[in-house]
């Protein structure tokens, strides 16, 4: 009885699936999905080699400092870094005085101690990076109706994040003629910029890194556009995962211990079972 019912229920689901399959197949043949410009011209991120990659990866502090400089002098005009505090910069190799000086170079929201009215004051090491816009409406108004996203977690919030950041920063180009020939309606709109590494190909952000020497690195590294893009990508790996290096360093002893324990456990197992066939 239960098996008869079961077969009936089974037929209900399988016939319904066959019905969906048949309709879907018919539609797929009669009205094949139209190709889209995004589907054909979107590119996967370029390869990016960073010191933090791989299971032995470590931060290259000189590179992080250069990346921080790019963020400070270029990106921070529009992008916030709200999860990072100035005190965290000590991890990049700055000493206490340098951190205090960097913090003091930023104006953060404060209160006038006499009147209680909102004002701004120089940042302290305990402050977080200030937001460049008071709110999203102000951000939209200044940026062609797009809110520049916070960058703290950017390299973890995109597939293949560090390579994505690098590719996006170096990927601006003119819209290919081939694209316009195939999709005449897909012309990049006013105030937008064509970039094949961006999901919908057209991005409100104007190319931020435009010329060699836009930033002058203190360590003498030549600041080409790819170099600046690579350094800021490395910096954003750190902002997204400041404990990455500690994680790698902790992982190896843990795995070695577990390997040792497993081998020991296996020997114990062999010993216990040595006279018992199984």
* 10-39 positions binding another protein, by CB under 8 A: 10-11, 13-21, 23-25, 28, 33
Identify whether the C-beta of residue 64 lies closer than 8 Å to the C-beta of residue 92: yes
Nearer Cβ to another protein (149/226): 149
83 binding another protein? (CB under 8 A): yes
Stretch that binds another protein, among 67-75, 118-126, 155-163, 173-181 (CB under 8 A): 155-163
7 binding another protein? (CB under 8 A): yes
State the minimum distance, in angstroms, from the CB of residue 223 to another protein: 29
Nearer Cβ to another protein (6/119): 6
Nearer Cβ to another protein (119/250): 250
State the minimum distance, in angstroms, from the CB of residue 272 to another protein: 4
145 binding another protein? (CB under 8 A): no
State the minimum distance, in angstroms, from the CB of residue 202 to another protein: 15
- Residues at the site binding another protein, with contacts judged by CB under 8 A: 2-3, 6-7, 9-11, 13-21, 23-25, 28, 33, 55, 83, 88, 149, 152-153, 156-159, 161, 199, 240-243, 246-248, 250-251, 254-255, 258-259, 261-262, 265-266, 268-269, 271-273, 276-278
């Amino acid at each position: 009885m239960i098996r008869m019912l079961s077969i009936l229920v089974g037929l209900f689901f399988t016939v319904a699936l066959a019905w969906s399959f048949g309709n879907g197949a018919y539609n797929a043949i009669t009205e094949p999905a139209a190709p889209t410009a995004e589907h054909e011209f979107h590119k996967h991120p370029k390869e990016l080699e960073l010191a933090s990659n791989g299971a032995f990866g470590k931060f290259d502090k000189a590179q992080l400092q250069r990346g921080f400089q790019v963020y400070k002098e270029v990106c921070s005009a529009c992008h916030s870094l709200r999860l990072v505090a100035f005190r965290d910069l000590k991890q990049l190799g700055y000493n206490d005085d340098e951190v205090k000086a960097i913090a003091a170079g930023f104006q953060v929201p404060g209160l006038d101690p006499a009147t209680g009215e909102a004002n701004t004051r120089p940042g302290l090491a305990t402050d977080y990076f200030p937001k460049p816009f008071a709110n999203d409406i102000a951000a939209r108004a200044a940026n062609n109706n797009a809110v520049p996203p916070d960058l703290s977690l950017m390299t973890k919030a995109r597939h293949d994040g560090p390579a994505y950041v690098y590719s996006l920063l170096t990927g601006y180009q003119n819209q290919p003629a081939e694209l316009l020939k195939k999709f005449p309606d897909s012309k990049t709109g006013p105030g937008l910029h064509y970039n094949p590494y961006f999901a919908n190909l057209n991005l409100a952000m104007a190319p931020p890194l435009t010329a060699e020497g836009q930033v002058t690195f203190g360590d003498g590294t030549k600041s080409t556009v790819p170099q600046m893009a690579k350094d800021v990508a490395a910096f954003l790996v750190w902002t997204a995962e400041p404990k990455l290096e500690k994680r790698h360093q902790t992982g190896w002893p843990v795995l070695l211990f577990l390997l040792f324990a497993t081998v020991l456990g296996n020997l114990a197992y062999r010993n216990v079972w040595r006279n018992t066939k199984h």
